[in-house]
Structure 1
Amino acid sequence: MMHVSHQEASQLLHNKFIVVLGDSIQRSVYKDLVLLLQQEKYISAQQLKTKGEMSFENDCLVEGGCLSQMHNGRNYREVRQFQSDHHLVRFYFVTRIYSHYMQSILEDFQHGMKPDVVIVNSCVWDISRYSSRWISDYKENLEKFFGKLRDIMPEETLIIWNLTMPLGERIRGGFLVQEIEHKAAQLRYDVVEANFYSGTLADEYGMDVLDLHFQFRFSLQHRTKDGVHWNALAHRRITTLLLQHIAEAWGVILPSTLTSDGEEVCSHTQKGQSRLSYHKLGLVMVYLCTQFKLK
């Protein structure tokens, strides 16, 4: 697929405040965006692996990380921010879509500067580290989060809910502590089911939904050996999908989406189709997969 260039990304997000919320995958989403805003370069494998560092590509660690105790617990905190003359990008590491910590983040937005774009996902930790009866808890917390977010954010704020990417059959990661290792084989199916619930609910609340599970179902070669995380090529594709989605929402035509004849190339949505509905086919397909345990 065509990639959005550094210049296009910089111009599209000129004087914009972007917030990214979520786990280690979302942290990598933040990092790749921060890098692309500064130069035409891919993120390194080491940069993708590192967490809680004092600085990444001219950003700064605001809270948590190496400023506090580094661990893989549910209460791990990491707030990062990149600020230039014309861009502001902030990341919050969260392990649950609605919690006391999330409430404090939302209160900051309520009383402070409002983001132009919010890119959010929370799933794997929610469904594996808090309760074996995750379905009801996850649905309830999603309702609380989406409702509160809609109350706080102005109508012009673009909210993008990223669906969780495909997990491998064998997984290992910071969230997968010894106590829940027995859940590993089932977790990839639980993620598909959780995606169905969260994507449908986000749509009902008027959020935009980017179905990364559907987009990467045939790109598993870019998933790393831990079965959870993804390489630099995958993350640049995610960044491109996000920026194309933002451009479409704002009515901006990116030069990289034009053919040599000046015609616009259709990406993940068809012309005239709602941005809020394009993901539904993928949701239905992957939900059917989990019901029949298809690999």
Structure 2
Amino acid sequence: MGETTTRNVTHYQASQLLHNKFVVVLGDSIQRSVYKDLVLLLQRDSYLNISQLKSKGELSFEHDCLIEGGRQGQMTNGTEYREVRQYRTDHHLVRFYFITRVFSRYMQSILADFKHDLKPDVVIVNSCLWDVSRYSRKWVSEYKENLHQFFAQLKAILPAESLVMWNMTMPLGKNIIGGFLVPEIEFMGPMLRFDVIEANFYGAKLANAYGLDVLDLHFQFRFSLHHRMKDGVHWNAVAHRQITCLVLAHAAQAWGVELPSNTSTAGTHDGSVCAPLNMKPSTFSHTAWQYGPQYDGYKPVFYEDGFDSISQLSAGYLSFVNNDRNTTHNANNFVMKQKHPKRQYKPYARLQQRHHHKNY
């Protein structure tokens, strides 16, 4: 079975692309690793190690800081767990909020921050697995209503040029183990992978209806299960670098810029800040994904679910085709739905605001 394919993005390219950009990542522990991999890539070309992937709530990760919750609060596996992290330099600002529900009083407080303070240029968000397992077994109507509330308020608060990416939840294993599956919901374990497929459908349809971008990570990683860790939920460092490349490649497309050549300038691997990316017509296309730096962390844990053929897997995943054939086709073949013209790209537009941002 083939690997997911996309273009590799280096530290130099990531630093230029996100020069003077405010990026917010919202979601669960997988989204935390999305944040961590991006923070690492903004500093150097290397992969997350196993300790970095497994750690949560640490006071500092690769020169970031813990703003709220985590080890400053109560370390639990419950729905009230909080963790807000931030990585900030003179030209990069990346923030992560741990959430367990797509819309709640806590989410409203986050949106209030966006409304009254600095507005993000990029929002990378997912909320699904906790929503469908921790609050109600009959989750469908409540989840759809919460998605409506979240997307509507997010669209109302953010400027039109903000880039919002809804990450669909990645494939779950048949046997889930570890901290996420607390005793109260152990009975749900075997069915969660199917619940996630259904929830992914609702999330993608509604995000698309609100004009947001949808990154179909479930489809992208359906044949990369050897990069899923043995707990059946989380993914290794190679997979997370691949997600980062997909996200950054789409941001370049949305802003109508080219990712610079890896050999464009010298001294880009020492942590120095790169010059802003120049405006150019977008010429990016998805090409064969290549491994970047040599991966020297832990070996992938092979955990397969016993699919006998490609057609068997596809038939289950594509069960929603009849609901909207064209939409599903576009999501699966082009990975990211684009419902908008190219966004404005002003690399210095938010520089003055950023230096006066309160608390953070």
TM-score computed with the length of structure 1 as normaliser: 0.89
**Counterpart contact for 1:118–1:159, Cα < 8 Å:** yes
Match of 2:212 among 203, 207, 210: 207
The answer on whether the counterparts of 2:128 and 2:199 sit within 8 Å (CA) in structure 1 is yes
Asked if 1:154 corresponds to 2:159, the answer is: yes
Query: Following TM superposition, by how much is the alpha carbon of 1:41 offset from its aligned partner in structure 2, in angstroms?
Result: 0.7
- The answer to whether residue 272 in structure 2 is matched with residue 267 in structure 1 is no
Query: What is the SS of the residue equivalent to 1:165?
Result: coil
1:139 matched to 2:144: yes
Deviation at 1:256, TM superposition (A): 6.2
1:189-229 CA-to-partner distances (Å, cap 9, x unmatched) read 00001000100100000000000000000000000000000
C-alpha contact (below 8 Å) 2:201/2:320 kept by paired residues: no
In the alignment, what sits opposite 2:27?
A: 22
Report if aligned partners of 1:28, 1:235 keep a CA contact under 8 Å in 2.
yes
Which amino acid in structure 1 is aligned with residue 286 of structure 2?
S
Query: Structure 1: which amino acid aligns with 2:254?
Result: A
Shift of 1:172: 2.0
Contact 2:57 2:71 in 1 (8 A): yes
> 2-side partners of 1:250 and 1:155: how far apart?
13
Residues 258 and 284, structure 2, Cα contact 8 Å, conserved in 1: no
SS at match of 2:23: strand
Change (3 A) 1:105 1:151: same
Query: Aligned match of 1:251 in 256, 259, 267?
Result: 256
Question: Counterparts of 1:16-55 in structure 2 under 5 Å?
Answer: 16-55=21-60
Gaps of 5+ in 2: 263-281, 288-312, 323-360
- Asked if the contact 1:196–1:283 (Cα under 8 Å) also holds between the matched residues in 2, the reply is no
SS at match of 1:190: helix
Aligned residue for 2:57, secondary structure, equals coil
1:190 aligns with 2:195: yes
> What secondary structure, in the 3-state scheme, does the structure 1 residue paired with 2:97 have?
strand
In 2, the alpha carbon distance for the partners of 1:283 and 1:109 equals: 39
2:246 to 238, 241, 249: 241
TM-score, reference length from structure 2: 0.73
**CA 1:61–1:290: 2 relative to 1, 3 Å:** farther
In structure 2, what residue type is equivalent to 1:97? V
Deviation, 1:284, is 9.4
Contact residue 5 and residue 256 of structure 1 kept, 8 A: no
Q: Using the aligned pairs only, state the percent identity.
A: 64
Task: Say whether 1:101 aligns with 2:120.
Answer: no
42, 65, 71: which is aligned to 2:70?
A: 65
1:45: Cα distance to partner? 1.0
- What secondary structure, in the 3-state scheme, does the structure 1 residue paired with 2:94 have? strand
Q: Secondary structure at the match of 1:224?
A: coil
Q: Distance in 2 between matches of 1:241 and 1:153?
A: 23
What are the Cα deviations for residues 37-96 of structure 1, in whole angstroms up to 9, with x where unaligned? 000111101100000000000000000000011010000000000001100000000000
Provide the rounded CA distance (Å) in 1 between the counterparts of 2:209 and 2:93.
Answer: 29
Is 1:231 the counterpart of 2:241 in the alignment? no
Q: Which amino acid aligns with 1:229?
A: H
How far apart, in 2, do the equivalents of 1:154 and 1:265 lie?
25
Structure 2 residue corresponding to 1:176, chosen from 174, 181, 187:
181
> Which has more helix, going by share of residues?
1
Aligned residue in 2 for 1:272? none
User: 5 Å matches for 1:85-96?
Assistant: 85-96=90-101
Cα deviation for residue 174 of structure 1 reads 2.9
RMSD: 2.1
1:253 to partner: Cα distance? 1.7
What is the identity, as a one-letter code, of the residue corresponding to 2:317? V
Which string of whole-angstrom CA distances, capped at 9 and with x for unpartnered residues, describes residues 88-110 of structure 1? 00000000000000000000111
Between the two structures, name the one with larger relative contact order (CA 8 Å, sep ≥ 6): 2
Residue 226 of structure 2: which of 221, 227, 244 is its match? Answer: 221
Corresponding residue of 1:122: 127
Aligned residue number for residue 165 of structure 1: 170
How many Å separate the matches in 2 of 1:57 and 1:94? 22
Distance 2:321 2:214 in 1: 20
Q: 1:98–1:141: 8 Å Cα contact kept in structure 2?
A: yes
| 2: CA distance, partners of 1:145 / 1:20 | 15
- Number of residue-to-residue matches in the alignment: 273
SS in 2 for 1:161: strand
Larger radius of gyration: 2
**Equivalent residue for 2:84?**
79
2:327 equivalent to 1:288: no
